[in-house]
Structure formats: C-alpha cells, structure tokens
Chain A
C-alpha cells in the first residue's frame, strides 16, 4: 500500500486510483442499493413526518457530503499553500463541482421536504441561508479557477479564498444551536448519541456510506481527468514553442503546472 507521500506523485496516483475506482464504484452501487431498499421499503414511516422521512435518507448524506467536500478542499488549500503538494490543487479543483452538485441536491431535497412539513419551499432560516451561501461559494470558486489560464497561478489565489470561506462550515454546522431556527437541531452526531430510532438510523447510515463511496469514486475520476487535462495543456504549450527555444528554455510555465511533477 503506497504512502501518502508516494501518492503525491501524479503518475503513481493515476496507477493507484485506476485500480481502486472499479472496487469503490462496485461497493458504492451495492451499499446504495441496500440503503435504498431499507430507506424506501424496509423502514417504518416517522410518527410525525410520515413517509416524508424517507427524503432524509438522501437529504442528510447530500448535506453532509457538501460540507465534507468543502472541508477536504480547505485541507487541500493548506496543502497547496504550505507544502506545495502536487496533487493538492488537483484535488481541490476536482472536488469543487462535485461538492456544488451535492450542495444543490441538499437544497433541492430540503426544499421538497420543507413544503409538506413546514408549508414552505424555502425560509430564510440560519441553516438554510448559510447552506445557500455554501452553494454560491462553490460556484464562485469554480468561476475563479476558470478565469485563469495558468492553473498554478489560480491555485494559490483560489486556495486563499477557500480557506477564508471555510469559516462558513462551522456556521452551517452550529447554526441550529446558535440561532433559533426552523430547521431541526442536530440529531445524529451529537453528545449523548443519536435521537433517531435505530430502524431509521440503519438506512441513514447505509446511505451515508454509499454516498461516501460514490463521492470517493467520483473524486478519484475527476482528479484523473484534471491530471490528464494539465498534461494536455503542458504538451500543447511545449508544442507551441519553436523547437530551438524548447531546447534552450528553462522550464517556466510547463513546470509551474503541478501535473508536470510526474
């Protein structure tokens, strides 16, 4: 099993992730299928929410992954700024669209649950508003990455912004404790244990596991695509230079690309 330092080499990451992806994808499909069976057919309706509790089995994993993905991006931003880790920017950039998609899913499923339960598709509640801010931040970061031609230059600027935006994650997490919100307070990962009945906790954890495996699969695939994209860019830059200057030139823009470390 290669260490993290060894995986920092993009070529090794490509080899390793290529072997892991089929296993992770298969595991995600199996766990999600079992989770869906329990969530839709083998768990009871809630005594207050009725069957709408089944929406929670996708809403909660999507919301947790949305925040987890941003936390991973913040760790990657540290890796970019402090250690210049060759894969850190690749990981952050690849994770952003996936995180945005899970945030959107959290917003949609929350809204669809809110209409029959609260009588409103949307309320400007602290949890909902801070979660919407997370979605806007994801979109802003993706736009900023695309605004730069040179990925190396973009990486440092975006990494600073990711770290600044990380302040929103504890705000989302603790918003239900700090303010009087319509959104329910923490009921799974809390001191004193979950307040949810085990019959509903089982499909919830299965779906959490399935979503987690799916996220890992998607992230590895997106990172592979990003590494190849940077290699294509480097090769195109080299091809665009006159032959003589290629031979004489010191590595500048090509070497600046993290992917060129391989």
Chain B
C-alpha cells in the first residue's frame, strides 16, 4: 500500500474525532440525567412536574 503513513494518519484522526464525539454525547447525556434525578430526589421540580395543589 502506497503512502501508508498518510492513510493511517487520516483514519486515526477520524477514529479519534468520532470516538471523542460519541464519548462527549454519552457523558453529557448521563451527567444531565444524573443532575435532573438529583434535583427530583431533593424535591426540586419544574412547574409542569409538580403535583397539583
């Protein structure tokens, strides 16, 4: 295979960027869900989720 180093560099960059994106979305989603669950547990709810008075 000619120019193997360049090909590996391009695919390596693609791997890093894509895995980075997947991790970022996954971790961000998990963090937001965790925060919302903690607020919910502490009794802090948005108006639409409060039991009717």
Instruction: Tell which of A58, A116, A254 touches B46, judged by Cβ atoms closer than 8 Å.
Output: A254
Among A150-158, A187-195, A230-238, which stretch is in contact with chain B? A230-238
Interface SS majority for chain B: helix
Report how many residues on chain B are interfacial, defined by Cβ distance under 8 Å.
33
CA distance A260 to B50 in the complex (A): 13
CB-nearest residue of chain A relative to B45?
A235
A69 CB, nearest partner CB in chain B, Å: 12
CB interface residues, A 182-238, toward B, < 8 Å: 214, 218, 221-222, 224-225, 228-229, 231-232, 234-236, 238
CA distance A58 to B8 in the complex (A): 12
In contact, A113 and B46 (Cβ under 8 angstroms): no
CB-nearest residue of chain B relative to A45?
B2
Q: Which residues of B contact A239 (CB under 8 A)?
A: 39, 44
CB-nearest residue of chain B relative to A115?
B6
- Known: A228-B29, A231-B46, A232-B36. Is A52-B14 also a contact (CB below 8 A)? no
Contact with B along A92-110 (1 / 0, CB 8 A): 0000011001101100110
Q: Which residues of B contact A108 (CB under 8 A)?
A: 10, 13, 17
How many A residues are at the interface, by size bracket?
Answer: 35 or more
Instruction: Tell which of B2, B6, B28, B40 touches A113, judged by Cβ atoms closer than 8 Å.
Output: B6
In contact, A112 and B10 (Cβ under 8 angstroms): yes
CB interface residues, A 66-120, toward B, < 8 Å: 97-98, 101-102, 104-105, 108-109, 112-113, 115-116
CB-nearest residue of chain A relative to B43?
A239
In contact, A225 and B28 (Cβ under 8 angstroms): yes
In contact, B36 and A55 (Cβ under 8 angstroms): no
In contact, A51 and B7 (Cβ under 8 angstroms): yes
Q: Which residues of B contact A112 (CB under 8 A)?
A: 6, 9-10, 13
**Does A127 touch B at the CB level, under 8 Å?**
no
- Known: A113-B6, A235-B36. Is A225-B44 also a contact (CB below 8 A)? no
In contact, A221 and B29 (Cβ under 8 angstroms): yes
CA distance A101 to B14 in the complex (A): 10
Q: Which residues of A contact B10 (CB under 8 A)?
A: 55, 58-59, 108-109, 112-113
Taking A51-B7, A113-B6 as known contacts, 8 extra A-B pairs with beta carbons closer than 8 A to each other, sorted by chain A number, are: A45-B1, A51-B2, A101-B21, A108-B13, A228-B36, A238-B44, A254-B46, A260-B46
Residues on B facing A (Cβ under 8 Å): 1-4, 6-7, 9-11, 13-14, 17-18, 20-22, 24-26, 28-29, 31-33, 35-36, 39-40, 44-48
